[in-house]
Amino acid sequence: MKLKTIEQHILDQQRKYPGASGGFSGLLYDIALAAKIIGKQVNMAGLVNVIGATGDVNIQGEVVQKMDTYANDLLINILTNGGKVCAIASEENENIVEIHDEFLVGKYAINMDPLDGSSNIGANVSIGTIFSIHRKISKGHKGSEEDCLQKGTKQACAGYVIYGSSTMLVYTTGTGVHGFTLDPTVGEFILSHENIQMPEPCKIYSVNEGNYNYWDNGTKKYIESLKEVDKTSNRPYTSRYIGSLVSDFHRNLLYGGIFLYPADYKKDPKKPEGKLRLLFEASPIAFIAEQAGGYATTGTQRILDIEPKHLHHRVPLIVGNKSEVLRYEEFLKRG
């Protein structure tokens, strides 16, 4: 058996595509490093009540941070020190994080959700980090919001880290989707899932069905259709919903499935709204899905084609096996 670390894999990819720069590989190493540290900390999360609750002062006299703040600060720290980025946008920050004068300014902008699904952490449920990398397009020496506000088709790379029964990093640069599992004994991400493709048929659906009464008719009818007995498998679809996007998507990517967070009328009875954020959640997940043979839509528009209006732009997200996502679009059209 030939073991390949994430570093070797990135270098191999770079050799295959001579245009790829070392700066880009360095950036992925930095993300992998942050992932290892966050993973270790997430594993300790259950002990916060023992060694000092969130917001409290711990035994060393330091304030114990909330896990999502910890992950955000750590990523910003590692990425700015690495000198490969020109701007960072994070779900945790209202505006972009600018690179201070003491650091080198790189050619890439990062959009990230440092710890998605963190409300699940108290129940020991898998959570994740999502990232999306764009090339710098702004004119000045430093990066600006313009570099982060690019549509999904312009992504140079997207990925996520899942902190589950193992820690895994999954990424794409537009040449397939590759997954690496952390071997905690040696601290290396080892290639474990090469060229992932979403398997057919689509067997699973993942949606917060508590929102049913707030959905439009098309979505309601589509979900009802999944409960009918399928002619080929002779059984209805299986419902699986964790409430942690990375975990729900990761399972569907490996087993075949559709994830839905459709627009709903929960907040405003006149205007349906999506919950998930385009730049930090929908767009990177859509890039990975398409690279794995799947598809992602708002119901009426391909996610990767949406021009972001602002950093925290929210969209409906329906992602999974292509034929199934297209079938959802048909239901929505018919209403």
Nearby residues of 224 by Cβ (< 8 Å), 6 or more positions away: none
Of 146, 184, 156, 145, whose CA–CA distance to 168 is shortest? 184
H-helix segments, the chain: 6-16, 22-43, 48-51, 67-82, 145-148, 217-225, 245-255, 283-291, 322-334
Residue 116 binds Mg ion (CB under 5 A) = yes
Per CB under 5 A, the list member of 30, 68, 92, 113 interacting with Mg ion is 113
Nearby residues of 176 by Cβ (< 8 Å), 6 or more positions away: 194, 195, 196, 291
The piece of 25-33, 52-60, 213-221, 237-245 that touches ligand AHM (CB under 6 A) is 237-245
Residue 329 binds ligand AHM (CB under 6 A) = no
* Rounded distance between C-alpha atoms, residue 127 and residue 41, angstroms: 12
Q: Characterize the bridge pairing of strands 188-193 and 177-183.
A: antiparallel
Per CB under 6 A, the list member of 243, 300, 305, 326 interacting with ligand AHM is 243
Identity of the residue numbered 128: G
Of 21, 32, 43, whose CA–CA distance to 190 is shortest? 32
Per CB under 6 A, the list member of 80, 90, 173, 244 interacting with ligand AHM is 244
Q: Between 164 and 203, how does the x/- string for binding to ligand AHM read (CB under 6 A)? A: ----------------------------------------
* Rounded distance between C-alpha atoms, residue 266 and residue 214, angstroms: 6
The piece of 49-57, 112-120, 220-228, 292-300 that touches ligand AHM (CB under 6 A) is 112-120
Residue 116 binds ligand AHM (CB under 6 A) = yes
Residue 30 binds Mg ion (CB under 5 A) = no
Sign of the dihedral defined by the CA atoms of residues 42, 47, 52, 54, in that order:
positive
Residue 244 binds what, of Mg ion, ligand AHM, none (CB under 5 to 8 Å, by partner type)?
A: ligand AHM
Residue 118 binds ligand AHM (CB under 6 A) = yes
Per CB under 6 A, the list member of 28, 96, 196, 245 interacting with ligand AHM is 245
Smallest distance from ligand AHM to CB 226, Å = 17
Smallest distance from ligand AHM to CB 44, Å = 19
Host H or E run for residue 162: strand 157-163
- The tokens describing 143, both together, are 């990066």
The piece of 7-15, 112-120, 171-179, 321-329 that touches Mg ion (CB under 5 A) is 112-120
- The tokens describing 304, both together, are 């990767």
Nearby residues of 132 by Cβ (< 8 Å), 6 or more positions away: 110, 111, 112, 152, 155, 157, 158, 279, 280, 283, 284, 287
| C-beta closer to ligand AHM: residue 147 or 281 | 281
Of 25, 31, 143, whose CA–CA distance to 79 is shortest? 31
Residue 208 binds what, of Mg ion, ligand AHM, none (CB under 5 to 8 Å, by partner type)?
A: ligand AHM
**For residue 14, what are the CA distances in angstroms to 17, 26, 82, 158, 284?**
5, 11, 19, 16, 21
Residues 266-285 that bind ligand AHM (CB under 6 A): 275
| C-beta closer to Mg ion: residue 116 or 290 | 116
Residue 301 binds what, of Mg ion, ligand AHM, none (CB under 5 to 8 Å, by partner type)?
A: none
Smallest distance from ligand AHM to CB 59, Å = 29
Smallest distance from ligand AHM to CB 324, Å = 18
The piece of 28-36, 117-125, 138-146, 173-181 that touches ligand AHM (CB under 6 A) is 117-125
Residues forming contacts to Mg ion in the complex (CB under 5 A) are 113, 116
Residues forming contacts to ligand AHM in the complex (CB under 6 A) are 91, 113, 116-119, 208, 243-245, 261, 275
